[in-house]
Amino acid sequence: MLHNIEFIFLYNTIMWTRAVTLLKTELTHFHLLSVDMRRMLLSYALYLAAYPLVMTFMDAYLWRTSGNLWAIVLYNLGYVIGIPTGFYLNGLLLRKFHILRLYFFGLLLQAIIPCFVVFFPLANLIGILLYGCVCGCGAGLFWGNKNYLDQQLTRGSNRMYYNSLGQIFDVLLSMLIPVCAGWFIILVNTNHFGQSFLAYKIIMIVACILLFFSGLIIQFSHIQQIVIRGMLVKHPSKTWRLMRLYNILFNIQIGSATVLPSVIILILVGGEGILGTLQGVTAGLSAIALYYVGRKATISSAWKFIGAGSLIFFVGTCVLAGFFTWVGGITYSIVISLAWASQWTQTNSVIMELMDNEEPDPEKQYAYVCDNEIFYNSGRVIGIGIISVIAIVASEHAALRWSPLIVGIIQLPLAFIIHSIVNTIEQTKPA
């Protein structure tokens, strides 16, 4: 008995020592980043803390208040249409306003609109669509500036580490925030006579505060104003056209995932508490996958992880289509997170490398950032469109069951496309 206790104590001591050593190593790497990069990561962490509240639980709110899939479809459709619009407007506004101010304003729009949705709800679907468009414009302003700043701050060094760290923040916060928010809604609903909408209002206020400080922190950075020369890629290379195709196919999956998971979980599995808990659990699984991918992945091996993510996602959609029960719902929720963990950092890093390869001049690079986002969101619109068409032609039930499988088939070629792009990058890089 004493021997077992000593063994357990020794094992725990070793594991604790390894954890502390790992943390010290990561902190050392973190402090090697520039001050502006660290501020960007902190700002992004606050944004990520707010994101599940203004997206996942916004879908849940729209479903609870309307019971209508079209409310969620139109809000998210407006959102993805608004994003490229915001990117283009951002390029115009950068001629008169500092990049950090527009970054802040984009976050404020994303904070204010969800509050309007829950405090001043609109009964008609057109109003919901407009709310989504304005929120998407805010996201376009935010991402247009964030993507450009990331591109410039990570030029030539620390790119994969910086992107991986941002994704780790995403996963960790996705483990914590949805669980807390989901059970908070259940708690308020239980103790205040079914007033779950009060909980949604509180959640959106918290998100608003987080987004405000996310924008405020970055205002203390010493980033020079940028000069934009052009907002569209007029003569794309063959490789960039291939990147456009990849972006469309990849983001069909992302677009469908903005609408489906919350509704599928609420219908097949349970309420907001289960929704939040399941998102937290899947984020935990993603964290394990992400740590492995972050340590093993390089630009050259990106296609392997993207291919693995595509296969995982496809298998999960097959399970959902075959077993449209809580089993399929939980499986689908898990594979979305695992596929994202396998694919997103690799995709983003390859895109940034290709941008540097295509256009090394920072003043002309915003055109590639904007062009990239247009095709991102074209794919997302198609993803939402697939759901809409099936809902119209067949039924909402059929859309929830079969559209993920169609999307799963569409995104299977991603690894082959990215492999071709990476080969071109490596062949054209200066020795």
Provide the CATH number for the domain around residue 281.
Answer: 1.20.1250.20
SS3 of the chain: helix, strand, coil, percent, to 5: 85, 0, 15
- At residue 14, the pLDDT reads 52
Question: Residue 50 and residue 144: Cα distance in Å, rounded?
Answer: 19
Q: Cβ neighbours of residue 101 under 8 Å, at least 6 residues apart?
A: 219
- At residue 245, the pLDDT reads 94
Position of tokens 């620390």? 158
Report the alpha-carbon angle 56-171-375, nearest 5: 65
- At residue 248, the pLDDT reads 93
DSSP state of 220: T
Task: Assess if residue 147 is contained within a domain.
Answer: yes
- At residue 286, the pLDDT reads 62
One-letter amino acid for residue 367 of the chain: A
- At residue 12, the pLDDT reads 45
Question: Residue 242 and residue 27: Cα distance in Å, rounded?
Answer: 38
- At residue 3, the pLDDT reads 47
Question: Residue 40 and residue 42: Cα distance in Å, rounded?
Answer: 5
Question: Residue 256 and residue 254: Cα distance in Å, rounded?
Answer: 6
Cα distances from 90 to residues 138, 348, 360, in angstroms, run 10, 21, 21
Question: Residue 51 and residue 43: Cα distance in Å, rounded?
Answer: 12
Task: Assess if residue 61 is contained within a domain.
Answer: yes
- At residue 22, the pLDDT reads 46
Task: Assess if residue 324 is contained within a domain.
Answer: yes
Instruction: Count each helix (H run) and each strand (E run) in the chain, helices first.
Output: 15, 0
Tally of CB atoms within 10 A around 17:
10
Q: Is 114 helix (H, G, I), strand (E, B) or coil?
A: helix
Token pair for residue 42? 């902190």
Question: Residue 244 and residue 241: Cα distance in Å, rounded?
Answer: 5
Range of the domain at 346: 37-221+231-428
Backbone angles phi and psi of 329, in degrees to 5:
-65, -45
Task: Assess if residue 240 is contained within a domain.
Answer: yes
Question: Residue 118 and residue 113: Cα distance in Å, rounded?
Answer: 9
Task: Assess if residue 30 is contained within a domain.
Answer: no
Query: Quick one: CA torsion of 250, 166, 352, 386, rounded to 10 degrees?
Result: 20
Question: Rounded to an integer, what is the distance from CA 431 to the centroid of its chain?
Answer: 35
Report the alpha-carbon angle 90-94-100, nearest 5: 90
Per-residue pLDDT tens, the chain, 431 aa: give them: 444 444 444 544 554 555 445 445 555 555 567 788 888 888 998 998 898 888 877 887 888 787 778 888 888 888 888 988 888 888 888 888 888 899 999 999 999 998 888 888 776 888 888 999 999 999 999 988 888 788 777 765 566 677 777 777 777 777 778 778 777 877 777 665 555 578 888 888 999 999 999 999 988 887 777 777 777 788 888 999 999 999 999 999 888 887 787 778 777 776 555 666 666 666 666 666 665 665 566 677 788 888 988 998 999 899 988 888 888 888 888 888 778 777 877 888 888 888 888 877 777 777 887 888 888 888 988 998 898 899 889 888 888 889 999 999 999 999 999 999 888 887 776 55
Of 127, 199, 163, the closest CA to residue 41 belongs to 163
- At residue 334, the pLDDT reads 81
Q: Is 154 helix (H, G, I), strand (E, B) or coil?
A: coil
Instruction: Identify whether the C-beta of residue 125 lies closer than 8 Å to the C-beta of residue 70.
Output: yes
SS3 letters across 317-379: HHHHHHCCCHHHHHHHHHHHHHHHHHHHHHHHHHHHHHHHHHCCCHHHHHHHHHHHHHHHHHH
- H or E element: which one contains 232? none
Instruction: Identify whether the C-beta of residue 100 lies closer than 8 Å to the C-beta of residue 223.
Output: yes
Instruction: Identify whether the C-beta of residue 420 lies closer than 8 Å to the C-beta of residue 242.
Output: yes
Q: How many domains does the chain fold into?
A: 1
Task: Assess if residue 326 is contained within a domain.
Answer: yes
Task: Assess if residue 19 is contained within a domain.
Answer: no
pTM: 0.72
Task: Assess if residue 5 is contained within a domain.
Answer: no
Question: Residue 389 and residue 392: Cα distance in Å, rounded?
Answer: 5
Q: What is the DSSP string of 160-219?
A: HHHHHHHHHHHHHHHHHHHHHHHHHHHHHHHHTTT-HHHHHHHHHHHHHHHHHHHHHHHT
**What's the farthest any 2 CA atoms get from each other in the chain?**
75
Question: Residue 331 and residue 334: Cα distance in Å, rounded?
Answer: 5
Of 355, 379, 362, the closest CA to residue 237 belongs to 355
